Amino acid sequence: MQNMKVLVCPSGFKGSLQPDVAANCIEAGILSVMPNASVRKVPLVDGGEGFTSALVSATGGTLHSVTVTGPVGVPVASFFGLLGNRSPGNPRTAVIEIAAAAGLSLVPKHLRNPGITTSFGVGELLTAAVEAGAKKIVIGCGDSGICDGGAGMLQALGARLLDQRGLPLPIATGGESLQQLADVDLSRVDQGISDVIIEVAVNWHNVLSGPEGVARIFGAQKGSTVEQTERLSAAMDVLASVAGKLLCDNKVGTAPGGGASGGLGTGLRLLGAKLRPRYEVVAEYVDFDELFTDCDLVLTAEGGIDDQTPRGKIPAEIGMRAKKHGLPVIAIAGTIGPGARVNYEAGIDAYTCILQRPSTLEEAILEAERLTRESAEGVMRMIVVGQMLGSKQTFPLEQGRQQSAVPAPDQLRGACFTPRACSIIVILQLHLSSPVMPKNTPAPDEPAVTFSSGSDAPVALRILHLNDVYHLEPASAEPVGGVARFVTAVNEYRGHDRFNGQPELITLFSGDVFNPSLESSVTKGEHMVPVLNKIGVDCTCVGNHDFDFGVKQFETLTAKCNFPWLLANVLDPALGENVPLGHAKHTHMITSSNGIKIGLIGLGEREWLETINSLPPNIIYKSASETAKELVPQLRAQGADIIICLSHQREPNDNKLAEKTDGLIDIILGGHDHYYAHSFINGTHVLRSGSDFKQLSYIEVRKKEDGSGKWDFDILRRDIVSSIAEDQETLKLTEDLTSKLKHSLAKSIGWTASPLDARFTTVRMKESNMGNFVCDVMRHYHNADCALMAAGTIRGDQIYPPGAIRVRDITNCFPFEDPVIFIRVTGQQLWDALENGVSQYPAQEGRFPQVSNIAYTFDPSKPPGSRIVEATLGGGPMEMDKKYTLATRGYMGRGKDGYTSLLVEPEGGTAEEIVCEENGILISAMLRQYFMSLRTVGQWKNLSEHWVKVAEKCHSPVEPRQMWDTPATTGASDPKPETHSKSWAEWMVKRHALNDKIPKEDSDDDSDSEDEVDSVAQIDMEMLIMRKFFAKWARKAGVKAEVCDPLREGEFTVDWTRVIAPVLEGRIKMIS
């Protein structure tokens, strides 16, 4: 088998790997084990992400950028392709993928609501293709974030969707509005669209309505609730009825492909489009019968393998066709979902998941290439082992393992396999068994004994401890955590029958809750207050991240808590003599239900104080041990029977505290570290209880029977696993908190006068003004010599036009939750980091470096590792032996993406860590602090005055849209409202009059009522109108209207308002 012939034909991993990149990774894995193997790569697409690029690449065509309306109503950078290799007589053909205008990846998780998302941008893509001269359009229908049956697309093309009264339905308002649909008027559709041939590649199994309708099958995936799914299903039934009349087809609802991409298949049929199975469309460009000849093994790949894979997904299609040629098929998947075993019947002999250990989604996306390569390597190593075994004995097919990752023997009997294929299948039966695939079985809920005193004395106190919690929702890997399950566990200890007659539970927390998380970057920690109150915390100490949004915000939040906050050894002289920072308390006394007095003291460490920029000057830090020696006797004098220290400092500092206080403290309940640990030092227990609602400690305290007045502790660790039921009240609370985030996400936090270019094609290839801006903020925040950020940090993949920057823009563009770190490195290490960053050019790799106070020139024609021609720092040469301070991502400080030169000392590297990840702050929070400091939110009124002046010079009327002015409900017999025109100036005055209120002292106050914030849909539509107005004004001014023009040197730039306007400065240069 050393000369094995392997066919590699993957689909892509949505959001991370395109099919061609996945094919390269799999090939690398194969050749690392079998260098002599013959590998043929045929990347495939299923109509989803990568469909356009694949067909353009196959025909030598071209890609064209265009900005369209995204599924949530905001502009997104999109594209279409024009196919090459056009023979005489064949029409000029454009190719479009729905994912580029309405994909699920374009809908942030917190905004997923298929009842209101729209396909409007798809219509704009079609128009752009026609304007480019296309006479035929091939459309790929893959995953989408919509369920509007193509309603938005039809409206964008000029169609009118009418209700029973003959009135138009609101424009681009989503699928739920189709419940009112009575007719579709196509008379106003642009003639250019009517003259074009449209072919649509669809999943032939997707239907519009009925039990298997698109809303019921895919609604939950797109964010639909159970009730909303029923409303959407009813809306699709209405659309099927209306479309059936127009198409003279009473089976529209169950027609193959009609439910593709949220029902877009049906909407496209109304335009005269022909629906075809997507595999059939791809087959026009790939000869599949030829592929499977002279081949021993087929490897395919997909982002997920589950019970939906046989419904037209690439791996299943490959499997069924490969079986006709007697070839075994292995599928490599990003995730293994429910019901995946049904794929055995679809021709997939084995499947394996690239995730071999618990990982976050962000980590999996960023490391997808490595994980895919290693997974392919693992598959081939198993085959090599099987080859060695097979050389010694034969394995009859009927003796394969019944529970292996391949079909059972009775499924294999009768299949026609080549001899080599048989041996491969047996090898897979032996080696690709369940350990390769993650289990869906929840982990058992079994508390573990951390420390047992062996005492039989009655329980005197019952304590529950937690620390460092940031995320409300559960994770994907065990222990999953999640506050709803956590509360269930707390309630068990608080009120279960087995605790009857025992003292009431006391809940203690050790700090870090208000940040960092993406939610906190929106709410400034406010959403966590009701959560802590719901848990029933009795007392806590302050953590470093609790000051991330400033002392004033900390005081605002803690005032709403039902318990005290302690920090005895950090004092703010501005508040008075011996007053703790943020008006925290030094100590606190709790009297238990059985009369025992518990003296509590809160302590922090010096190290994290030095990392918080928002602290006031002249802060006084006192030694933790000296403070304890001062305050513990005072607590004893007040009658304390037991002393508990709540600390927020590293474990070594807690251990030092125990060593230096000589049994003065009975137990130290620590935080700051994100792991579970216990020790017993110098008569004092030192405990930390994990993080993020994933663990807790349950402690039973008993009086020692030796008369010493000391206490025995029995400590249990409880992991919060998925088998623990979720508390329904808490679940409802978290859902309410999450829904309120939508209003906060719509808030403006600042303005940009320049388009911010966050496209992958820019940030991963060259200098970007978005990269410059963010790196500058990182550098100035830490007062560093320089900043370096991997371009993969920037996830927006669009140009943010001039205008408002909203909270959701920041959180969507910078979703990762590894903080910015501050390190010290040599010039040589920086140079090596730059070399790594450009080593994969021209591939659009996330490692490409964006920089601040650094300028570099690279030559991509040279070998990787020697491409940097010149690098300067601060305008002067970069000195190899000199030490520089650097602001960068924690991800890079862990040596990820090839940045091993920046590996910090705790991870085994040589970079000196000044501010570690634990003490760092998220980029999203850092940017928000920056805009808060500019106080640019108050510029609404000034900007509106400018727009009104400009508007007065443009007199083109605009037909009022129902989204702005919805007529009052009238009876069916009432006359239709008279259509009248409205000038831009009038509209702008009306809109911006909303902002003539006197701004609050803190214009970014997240306690604003929802009435003070325009609805998300209204704000998005208004920003869309403003951008269209800018384009009109640009044309009148004789300025090019291309979205990226303002970024080019010498071109027009927008500079009329006092807000950010980052530009290109020549920081990154490439030798052609």
pLDDT tens string 333-349: 888 877 788 888 778 88
Asked, for residue 69, whether it belongs to a domain, the answer is: yes
Among 284, 315, 330, the domain boundary falls at 284
Max mean pLDDT among 878-882, 892-896, 949-953 falls in 878-882
pLDDT number for residue 982? 39
Closest CA to 471 of 912, 922, 937, 1039: 922
Q: What is the pLDDT of residues 178-230, one digit of tens each?
A: 999 999 999 889 888 888 999 998 887 789 998 889 888 888 778 888 888 88
Range of lowest pLDDT (110-124, 464-478, 598-612, 936-950): 936-950
H-helix or E-strand spanning residue 505: strand 505-509
User: Do 59 and 36 sit in the same domain of this protein?
Assistant: no
* Lowest-pLDDT choice from 350-354, 681-685, 975-979: 975-979
Q: What average pLDDT does the segment 238-249 reach?
A: 92
Q: Which of 58-72, 431-445, 721-735, 964-978 has the lowest mean pLDDT?
A: 964-978
For the segment 154-170, the average pLDDT, to the nearest whole number, is 91
Residue 850 pLDDT greater than 50, yes or no: yes
Residues 313 and 373 in one domain: yes
CB 760 within 8 A of CB 79: no
Of the ranges 103-107, 255-259, 570-574, 721-725, which one carries the lowest mean pLDDT score? 103-107
1024 belongs to a structural domain: no
pLDDT of amino acid 1055? 34
pLDDT confidence band for 845 (50 / 70 / 90):
confident
Q: Is the pLDDT of residue 1050 over 90?
A: no
Query: Between 226-247 and 260-269, two packed helices, what is the crossing angle to 10 degrees?
Result: 20
Please answer whether residues 174 and 116 qualify as being in contact, where contact means their C-beta atoms are separated by less than 8 angstroms.
yes
Confidence of residue 89 (pLDDT cuts 50, 70, 90): low
Q: Which amino acid would we find at residue 968? A: A
Q: pLDDT digits over 381-436, tens only?
A: 888 877 676 555 443 333 333 333 333 333 333 344 444 444 444 444 433 433 33
DSSP state of 869: E
Of the segments 620-629, 750-759, 806-815, which one has the largest average pLDDT value?
Answer: 620-629
Instruction: Please report whether residue 101 resides in a domain.
Output: yes
Q: Is 380 helix (H, G, I), strand (E, B) or coil?
A: helix
473: CATH? 3.60.21.10
Question: For residue 323, what is the enclosing H or E element?
Answer: helix 314-323
Judged by DSSP in three states, 954 sits in coil
Q: How far is CA 461 from the centre of its chain?
A: 42
613 phi, psi to nearest 5 deg: -75, -20
Asked which of 894, 929, 964 is the last residue of a domain, the reply is 929
Backbone φ, ψ for residue 329 (5° rounding): -130, 130
Cα 775 to its chain centre, rounded Å, is 21
Residue 952 confidence (pLDDT): 45
Q: Is the pLDDT of residue 1045 over 70?
A: no
Task: Give the residue among 62, 309, 52, 42 at the shortest CA–CA distance from 201.
Answer: 52
| Token pair for 218 | 């895919």
**Is the preceding peptide bond at 652 cis, omega within 30 degrees of 0?**
no
CATH number of domain containing 798: 3.90.780.10
Closest CA to 676 of 695, 656, 698, 650: 695
- What confidence category does residue 360 fall into, taking pLDDT thresholds of 50, 70 and 90? low
- Whether 689 and 764 map to the same domain: the answer is no
Residue 814 and residue 922: Cα distance in Å, rounded?
Answer: 9
Output the pTM of the full model: 0.47
- pLDDT average, residue stretch 1001-1008: 38
Q: What is the mean pLDDT of residues 911-921?
A: 89
The vertex-343 CA angle with 342 and 346, nearest 5°, equals 110
Nearest to 921, CA basis, from 395, 545, 424: 545
Co-location of 329 and 270 in the same domain: no
Distance CA 819, CA 920 (A): 5
Residue 936 confidence (pLDDT): 36
Asked whether residue 857 carries a pLDDT value surpassing 70, the answer given is yes
Residue 868 pLDDT > 50: yes
Closest by CA to 863, choosing from 828, 838, 831, 827, is: 838
Residue 369 falls inside a structural domain: yes
Model confidence pLDDT, tens digit, residues 950-959: 444 443 333 3
Number of structural domains found in the chain: 4
CB 22 within 8 A of CB 301: yes
Contact call for residues 161 and 154 (beta carbons, < 8 A) = yes
Same domain? For 753 and 886 the reply is yes
pLDDT at 981 over 70: no
Range of the domain at 531: 448-731
What is the reported pLDDT for 1026? 52
pLDDT number for residue 49? 73
Q: CB count, 10 Å around CB of 1019?
A: 18
Nearest CA to 275 out of 316, 303, 298, 247 is that of 247
pLDDT(818) > 80? no
Is 262 part of a structural domain of the chain? Answer: yes
Which pLDDT score, from 0 to 100, does residue 992 have?
38
* pLDDT tens profile 295-319: 889 999 888 888 778 776 778 878 8
pLDDT above 70 for 1048: no
For 614-660, what is each residue's pLDDT tens digit? 678 889 999 999 999 999 999 999 999 999 999 999 899 999 999 99
Q: Please give the Cα distance from 428 to 378 (Å, whole number).
A: 12
Model confidence pLDDT, tens digit, residues 787-807: 999 998 887 777 888 888 888
Distance, first Cα to last Cα, the chain: 44
Which of 211-220, 409-418, 551-560, 673-682 has the weakest average pLDDT? Answer: 409-418
What percent of the chain shows pLDDT beyond 90? 42
Give the pLDDT score at 399: 33
DSSP state of 17: B
Residues 209, 77, single domain; the answer is yes
d(CA 209, CA 240): 7
Same domain, 167 and 237: yes
Region of poorest pLDDT, from 158-172, 460-474, 684-698: 158-172
Phi, psi of 850 (to 5 degrees): -95, 145
Rounded to whole angstroms, the Cα distance separating 458 from 896 reads: 52
443 touches 718 (CB < 8 A): no
Q: Is the pLDDT of residue 575 over 50?
A: yes
> Looking at the domain assignment, is residue 847 inside a domain?
yes
**Same-domain pairing of 244 and 342:** no
Residues 769 and 826 in one domain: yes
Residue 674 covered by a domain:
yes
Per-residue model confidence as pLDDT tens digits over 141-152: 888 889 999 999
Contact 535, 565 (CB under 8 A): no
**242 and 127 housed in the same domain:** yes
Rounded CA separation 155/181 (Å): 13
Confidence of residue 875 (pLDDT cuts 50, 70, 90): very high
User: What does the alpha-carbon distance between residue 329 and residue 890 come to, in Å, rounded to a whole number?
Assistant: 39
| Residue 69: pLDDT over 60 | yes
| Side-chain-facing half-sphere of 892: CA atoms under 13 Å | 32
Q: State the CB neighbour count (10 A cutoff) for residue 645.
A: 31
Q: 510 and 654 share a domain? A: yes
- The whole-angstrom separation of Cα 587 and Cα 343 is 61
* Chosen domain end from 219, 250, 284: 284
User: Looking at residue 752, what is its pLDDT?
Assistant: 86
Instruction: Give yes or no: residues 72 and 14 share one domain.
Output: no
Average pLDDT for the chain: 80
Q: Is residue 1006 part of a domain?
A: no
Which residues lie below 8 Å from residue 312, measured CB to CB, with a gap of 6+? 46, 203, 204, 205, 206, 277, 278, 279
Of 543-547, 836-840, 868-872, 919-923, which gets the smallest average pLDDT? Answer: 919-923
CATH of the domain at 382: 3.40.50.10350
User: What does the alpha-carbon distance between residue 858 and residue 555 come to, in Å, rounded to a whole number?
Assistant: 50
Greater confidence (668 vs 475) lies with: 668
> Which has more confidence, 683 or 1040?
683
